[in-house]
Structure 1
């Protein structure tokens, strides 16, 4: 099979197509002929050397795939050969064949092809786990989603709105803000031209928001605490603005009884990921099949343009997902 080799860490140009043997499914795994693979920020971080794969995972990049099941590992009984599935992979997605735990596979939503299905797993697993399971966002609450035009952001806006929350978001241009509004945000804040702290205070009458989903990290930490409502929750999922906070006023945490939490998906156990998968199928797949929620796909690039795909991701010029198409 062809796969994307990473002989050294560095810029996008270090990646190259190579040929190697097909992976073999271990007990509980399925082998998938990959038709499309999503491109995500963790892929960029792994390429740069800051997000290493777990010891038992494939070193090949790629955390979400869609395609046809062609072999079953020992003990797999709930997936059939020939089924078309999308899946959250622990690694190995940038390849013509990939093994994934069967418990992390989801059937294609009705009417979806591989490209659209490949844009689902990573962002939907992440948003569901962090925004709903951990931060506990519920109907009637308010949420601020940073990076609203990203793959995570476009997913979070739609899901939060679908489950009855009022959504505010930040983005870096008028075009991106307009896209966020089209997806259901009540107010999109251009962080390059506006102060999101002041805007949120105005929008909420000084109360603040109940939940913040943040991928920026250190550079937003103090300001995030300022605009959380009492008993609010800050959920951190990435550190695009750094991971070390040099100065912050922690008093709001005590005064307002705030919760600060966060997670990464890759180190979670198989059972934790299965629980997320099961809730997605029960709670979110019907919304996707009805058309109320859908992945926003910015670009679909052929497999041999993986370098260009990573350059596009790092440019932050995209709105929504970037997908590689194989075959």
Structure 2
């Protein structure tokens, strides 16, 4: 018997993890230019934590959160994709201005959808979209990394940090990555990180013990509290890319560039969209994972009715890698 309803997570207003409520909603009906996706997996992102905490701009409630989803096409009225085709969707207002991926079905603009083909588990595939897009964009568009260079990743056990390390190692880059938790060091070593630094707030000093002139590039994923120290870890004419805010702080108060930026160090930023992850890059990465040449940093999975626990784990930084829900 066919049903027109689905399970979804609804956030009526900002609040604690328990504010994320499992509800039954009608399955969305896609208009031309939209794609209805049967969600097989979705990853958790700090962006959704910001939404739940009331820190995100432009969000209206009630809302089904989720800035990404992975699954198969259920319907595409204008024919952009074929029913059953494997796809990933992300960004473009998902989970903020319209209902997102925390559901069994999600309806998104066709421009936010990237097709792929893979026999990898849905849990693994669900960890990929936003992490790969952010890591790839940060390394290419913002940092313009080159083989043989050195890269510091501040916030190394985040899913983006671990994915950036995997991509950087595949390019022949020497990777330094930080974690505040010594128990997570093994996870970083396991994906090929060359130097694991325990982050006590003063990482620049230890970076310069290894590379006296500083590293070529740095990826800042913790946010404003660690940014000055990260800048001090980079060589003259090196680049720091600000792409994340695990600290939930992303605005530098009373920013005075001459006093804030070490002489000659360049500060860039990256915030991307589905259009910034080329389909060929996604497919090549998935093929590399399938061949054992790359790894997806999947920490653990949850059922849809475990969303409150998943958010609590994300908020408490209990993971080394991505948290994924299988609806």
Structure-to-structure mapping, 1:85-234, within 5 angstroms? 85-89=87-91, 90-91=94-95, 92-108=100-116, 110-192=118-200, 195-204=202-211, 206-234=212-240
Q: Specify the SS of the correspondent of 1:230.
A: strand
Distance in 1 between residues matched to 2:317 and 2:276, nearest whole Å: 32
Q: Runs of at least 4 residues of structure 1 off by over 6 A?
A: none
What is residue 86 of structure 2 aligned with on the other side? Answer: 84
1:5-59 deviation per Cα after TM superposition (whole angstroms, max 9, x unaligned): 111101111110112222232443311111211111111111111124578x994
Q: Specify the SS of the correspondent of 2:226.
A: helix
What is residue 17 of structure 2 aligned with on the other side? Answer: 12
What is residue 297 of structure 1 aligned with on the other side? Answer: 298
Q: Specify the SS of the correspondent of 2:83.
A: coil
Report which stretch shifted further, 237-246 or 38-47: 237-246
1:64-98 deviation per Cα after TM superposition (whole angstroms, max 9, x unaligned): 22222110032x43x21111223325231001111
Uncovered stretches (5+) of structure 2, i.e. residues with no partner: 1-5
Structure-to-structure mapping, 1:195-274, within 5 angstroms? 195-204=202-211, 206-241=212-247, 242=249, 243-245=251-253, 250=258, 253=261, 255-256=263-264, 258-265=265-272, 268=273, 273-274=274-275
Distance in 2 between residues matched to 1:110 and 1:101, nearest whole Å: 23
Q: Specify the SS of the correspondent of 1:154.
A: helix
Distance in 2 between residues matched to 1:98 and 1:314, nearest whole Å: 24
**Any conservation in 1 of the 2:231–2:262 contact (CA below 8 Å)?**
no
What is residue 3 of structure 2 aligned with on the other side? Answer: none
Q: Specify the SS of the correspondent of 1:312.
A: helix
1:286 to 1:299, Cα distance in 2 relative to 1, 3 A: closer
Distance in 2 between residues matched to 1:34 and 1:23, nearest whole Å: 12
Aligned residues: 314
Distance in 2 between residues matched to 1:275 and 1:63, nearest whole Å: 15
Distance in 2 between residues matched to 1:263 and 1:24, nearest whole Å: 33
Displacement of 1:245 in angstroms is: 4.3
Distance in 1 between residues matched to 2:281 and 2:146, nearest whole Å: 16
- TM (norm. structure 1) is 0.87
Displacement of 1:254 in angstroms is: 7.0
Distance in 2 between residues matched to 1:21 and 1:218, nearest whole Å: 41
1:253 to 1:52, Cα distance in 2 relative to 1, 3 A: closer
1:283 to 1:211, Cα distance in 2 relative to 1, 3 A: farther
Distance in 1 between residues matched to 2:121 and 2:245, nearest whole Å: 32
1:276 to 1:80, Cα distance in 2 relative to 1, 3 A: same
Uncovered stretches (5+) of structure 1, i.e. residues with no partner: none
What is residue 323 of structure 1 aligned with on the other side? Answer: 324
2:65 is equivalent to residue 61 of structure 1: yes
Distance in 1 between residues matched to 2:194 and 2:17, nearest whole Å: 36
Displacement of 1:156 in angstroms is: 1.0
Q: 2:8 aligns with which of 3, 7, 11?
A: 3
Displacement of 1:248 in angstroms is: 7.3
